[in-house]
Amino acid sequence: MLKELNKDKWIKEIDLSLISFSELKNYKYLFSSKEWLSAYTDVYKPEKVLFILDKQISSNYIVLAYQDRSLIFLGGSFNDFNGFFNTNLNQALYFKDLIKYCKKNNLKLQLNSLFEESAINYFNKFSIINKSTVSLRIKPVDGNFSKLISKRIRKMYEQSGELKFERQFLGCKTKQGGKLLNWLLDKRNNKLNTKKTKEFNLSFEEKFDNLILKFCFQNTLNQNVYIDYCMLNDILLACSLNFKHGQEALCYLRAHTESSNNVSYGLILDYWGALQNERENIKLLDLTRGNESYKYRLGAQEYYLQNLTVYEKK
């Protein structure tokens, strides 16, 4: 069932029909969770969305947004992963209906960061422009994250001396949690505005910070969102924002203070986080999109997400 919903209806529909992150199949569905999409719609207030719901299987749904003459996943470029909740082959009927809808309304279907093989295989039957996005994740065979990390990073950690490390779970807003998250966002914005001005995107804007703050302090996420951080003499030096689902986690944002002595507080924190993951029996840490060099030094391996632009088949 495809529902075209205007602003006065999509908020109620999201609240009634969408599923909390902890109840979804795995961490890659974070950006289709009730918490993420409700926070996004509250901040960005899209005028109209296309809501697709399976009548027989209520856990099968997708929410798309209108952008120019295209349909995209609601959340757009902020979503590191996107999926259709394919639990059975009948879901392909929705794919067919979606393509008919786009053809009828002269819309292009832009499916970025798609990870579900069944959806990718289906849409590959149509005329498409197909590009892959490289992503990286750490998945030790024996659960030992720290042994995959380069010796130089390990040595920096061993010489970190008086640094204090901690993992703080969020979910409900606390003074400490708010302080950590605001520091991370401010530090990240300062770096983006001074070093990456040519790469401007919507995450540079204040609205993105509001989205993250609204998302992270929802009570239903009190076991799913955490910040790793390190301090020296009560001064924050590095933070990372992470989302956890079962024994898997993803690192979404990170920031650190620059050092003048060839020591990276961010990488030192990454090493401590690896040790903490071992203690908490986490089996996988996804570093998401992008092939930055530090990810390889942490022992990450490449995998690929698909970006599909679906046109009418001629």
Please give the average pLDDT of every successive group of 10 residues along the chain, which has 314 residues.
81 82 92 94 91 70 90 94 70 77 92 89 80 94 92 93 93 83 92 67 86 94 95 95 96 90 90 96 96 95 94 62
Residues 6+ apart with CB under 8 A from 201: 77
Quick one: pLDDT at residue 173?
Answer: 72
Q: Is the torsion defined by CA of 236, 238, 241, 247 positive or negative?
A: negative
User: With respect to CATH, is domain 2-134+304-310 assigned 3.40.630?
Assistant: yes
Query: Which class is domain 140-282?
Result: alpha beta
CA angle at residue 259 from 258 to 265, to 5 degrees? 80
Spatial contact of 311 and 128, defined as CB atoms under 8 Å apart? yes
Query: Does 2-134+304-310 match 140-282 in CATH topology?
Result: yes
Q: Is 171 left (phi over 0), alpha (psi -120 to 50) or beta?
A: left
Spatial contact of 286 and 248, defined as CB atoms under 8 Å apart? yes
Burial (CB count <10 Å: 0-12, 13-18, 19+), residue 309: middle
Quick one: pLDDT at residue 120?
Answer: 87
pTM for this model (two decimals)? 0.92
CA atoms of 257 and 36, how far apart (whole Å): 28
Quick one: pLDDT at residue 57?
Answer: 59
- What residue spans define the domains of the chain? 2-134+304-310, 140-282
Say which residue the tokens 């301090």 belong to. 231
3-state secondary structure the chain: CEEEEEHHHHHHHHHHHCCCHHHCCCHHHHHHCHHHHHHHHHHHCCCEEEEEECCCCCCCEEEEEEECCEEEECCHHHCCCECCCCCCHHHHHHHHHHHHHHHHCCCEEEEEEECCHHHHHHHCCCCEEEEEEEEEEECCCCCCCHHHCCHHHHHHHHCCCCCEEEEEECCCCCHHHHHHHHHHHHHHHHHHHHHCHHHCCHHHCHHHHHHHHHHHCCHHHCCCEEEEEEEECCEEEEEEEEEEECCEEEEEEEEECCCCCCCCHHHHHHHHHHHHHHHCCCCEEEEEECCCHHHHHCCCEEEEEEEEEECCCC
